[in-house]
Structure 1
Amino acid sequence: MGNSVGHRKHRNSAPQYPTPPSHIYAPPPHLSTPISAPPSHDGQFRAGMISLPYSHVDSTLRALAAQAEGFGRCAIGGLHGPLYHVTTSADDGPGSLRDGCRRKEPLWIVFEVSGTIHLSSYLSVSSYKTIDGRGQRIKLTGKGLRLKECEHVIICNLELEGGRGPDVDGIQIKPNSKHIWIDRCSLRDFDDGLIDITRESTDITISRCHFSQHDKTMLIGADPSHTGDRCMRVTIHHCFFDGTRQRHPRVRYAKVHLYNNYTRNWGIYAVCASVESQIFSQHNIYEAGQKKVAFKYLSEKAGDKEAEASGHIWSEGDMFITGTQAGLMRESLGVPTFHPSQHYTTWTVAPPSQDLKQLLQHCTGWQCVARPPDQPLPA
């Protein structure tokens, strides 16, 4: 394993704040491998070559560790733990996913079986875990994952579908969880949210995920009375929001960086800024269906304030197509008070384009990739 904790490959350079960026952050050719999308089902689609992040993370099993872009970049998962092999699709018991997730020591969890794991209750994930679905096709149904008061968790290459019951989310991150990376997951059809991030959970990256067949997709900050959520920071990039109705995401209090996502055919809005949120939307593609306005603002009263307030959205280089209207408020048209380069210096962002749109349709969510070989950590 050639990547140690805290080491990241620099893919691009962001401008120094407060000067707003005026160019595309293109990764140098020697640091990023161009990837092309596969053909569509009818065989007609051929994408141009577009550089995507993480082209190196499948070289070895643990190369995922500390390689996320954005706020979740420090997540190491079970880097320093042994492999735990899931050998059964049973909900619990020896060799089950639940058994591995409840253990207290660091573990890198891999699967020796493919298929559906029906969860009868939330599956709680403890700290320093990697749930690595590469090499198999694992679908979680019934209930979802719960990340509660944990840190350093990586969830990669899973399908989550058909969660039933009140307050059942696909992935629920609360309270006080941090250093989380969710990558290449497909999420659809839960009774509540697909991903909820609340109660002072922070330093989280959601990347290359596919969201579909759902209403309230992603919530960041659950209630205006929870003023402690002002600490929350989330990055969402290279995701495909595919006909989901709303919350891509809806945000209270948090700082959120959105880049190179494709959101289409929403039912109510694309992105919503509620109380005191700060959202930086950069080079995303917004393609409306019947509801044309992408950005929505909802005013709420913070628990320690007298007056109601909404949040702020700054849009840089976004593409609005099929008659989409941005809907930006006038006060969001100036120099942003939040810029991601205040918090991290590198991230991989391409121009919004038809090629990027096609690529995100085919290369997000669960992927048929082999499990990489595990190599010993350097001394």
Structure 2
Amino acid sequence: MGSLPYADVDSTLRAIAGQAEGFGRFAIGGLHGPLFPVTTLADDGPGSLREACRRPGPGWIVFKVSGVIQLSSYLNVGSHKTIDGRGERVKLTGKGLRLKECENVIVCNMEFEGGRGHDVDGIQIKPNSKHIWIDRCSFKDYDDGLIDITRGSTDITVSRCYFAQHDKTMLIGADPSHVGDRCIRVTIHHCFFDGTRQRHPRLRFGKVHLYNNYTKHWDVYAVCASVEAQIYSQCNIYEAGKKKKTFEFYTEKAADREEARSGLIRSEGDLFLDGAQPCLLTGIGETSVFHPSEYYQTWTMEAPSDSLKHVLQICAGWQPIPQPVDHHS
């Protein structure tokens, strides 16, 4: 049994900054800014999360209240912000977070449930956002996606998150016409996709490293590689329900190419349970899939096993952990 990543990030409040593994490893959030305490569950106004997110400059947002914040519209998050839910239990509902043309954002230990309306995602990352880390968040039941990463947003890590009661879980790269999405790079690890139907993730154009995730009882497919996608699936657990096909390949035509193409998935050390079928395009370009070591040197990974499955069911998503002490304040 290997050690889980981030063993020490709860030692002090800001110890989490810059500690992500993978493509989001440079996200420091609001490391160099003051504490912004959220003191009300109101959608806007003094002491609200919305007011804290719109403040200029870096800031580390913490909560002095627990409960549900009913968002009437998307909540725009500015650059150099940490939304840190440790120490309380805060659920966002109605709408979600929008990370638009921003950088250095960390969202930690929050719940997202019941987002309503056309194009409403739990966390929408677009356009041109980078250095983002989403850690230990729980997502369920939105009208569109739970996390969408599109329009040239890149260098993002999603870790230790829990996804449930949803259809189109995670879309990365929105449309074959957006060829600028070739820059997208995302790491997804130690997440638990619990009976969500599809898109764990669905990728166009970019590069995604998946490791030590547990994807259970999907209803369409587990992971989809579409136009020019490269997915490196490493030591994940895929446990089938009624639907056995794990990997799907959709062919689409990039706006600047003559021929339609699908994507590529390289599976290494994955565990396929209850009849899960890899159905890889064997021999076709698997070697063309990037290797994570071309971009970062280390990541915390273990062989997929019953013990890993057990740990992910407990450790993914919102956690009842105390708020660490802040030595900056």
TM-score by length of 1: 0.86
- After superposition, the C-alpha distances for 1:21-63 in whole angstroms (9 at most, x for unaligned) are xxxxxxxxxxxxxxxxxxxxxxxxxxxx541000000000000
Structure 1 match to 2:63: 111
Choose which of 351, 362, 368 in structure 1 pairs with 2:314. Answer: 362
Asked if 2 retains the 8 angstrom alpha-carbon contact of 1:314 and 1:332, the reply is: no
Q: Aligned Cα RMSD in Å?
A: 1.0
Residue deviations 1:249-274 (CA, integer Å, cap 9, x gap): 00000100000000000000000000
Cα separation, 2, equivalents of 1:351 and 1:333: 25
Q: Give the equivalent residue in structure 2 for 1:257.
A: 209
Q: 2:228 aligns with which of 276, 287, 303?
A: 276
**Residue equivalent to 2:90:** 138
Partner in structure 2 of residue 87 of structure 1:
39
SS of equivalent to 2:224:
strand
1:182, 1:207 within 8 Å by CA — same for their partners in 2?
yes
Cα contact 1:133–1:158 (8 A) shared by 2:
yes
Picking from 123, 134, 137, the partner of 1:171 is 123
* Secondary structure of the corresponding residue to residue 293 of structure 2: helix
Q: What amino acid does structure 2 have at the position aligned with 1:261?
A: N
Structure 2 contact 266–289 (Cα < 8 Å) conserved = no
1:317 aligns with 2:258: no
C-alpha separation between the residues in 1 aligned to 2:253 and 2:14? 44
Shift of 1:337: 3.6
Structure 2 residue aligned with 1:285: 237
Cα distance per residue 1:136-171 (max 9 Å; x no partner): 000000000000000000000000000000000000
Aligned pair 1:235/2:194, yes or no? no
Distance 2:30 2:232 in 1: 31
Within the candidate set 48, 51, 54, 2:6 is matched to 54
Over the matched positions of the two proteins, sequence identity in percent amounts to: 71
CA distance in 1 between partners of 2:283 and 2:122 (Å): 35
- Corresponding pairs, count: 329
2:264 and 2:285 in contact (8 A); partners too:
no
Letter in 2 for 1:210: Y
Structure whose CA Rg is larger: 1
> Alpha carbons of 1:88 and 1:135: their partners in 2 closer, same or farther (altered >3 Å)?
same
Distance 1:328 1:293 in 2: 10
1:219 aligns with 2:195: no
The aligned runs of 1:119-130 (5 Å cut-off) are 119-130=71-82
Structure 1: state its 5+ residue gaps.
1-48
Query: By how many angstroms is 1:104 displaced?
Result: 1.6
Superposition deviation, residue 336 in structure 1 = 4.2
1-structure distance, mates of 2:265, 2:102: 30
TM-score, L = length of structure 2: 0.99
Give the 4+ runs in structure 1 shifted more than 6 A.
none
Residues 68-90 of structure 1, C-alpha deviation per residue, up to 9 Å, x if partnerless?
00000000000000000000000
Which runs of no fewer than 5 residues in structure 2 stay unpaired? none
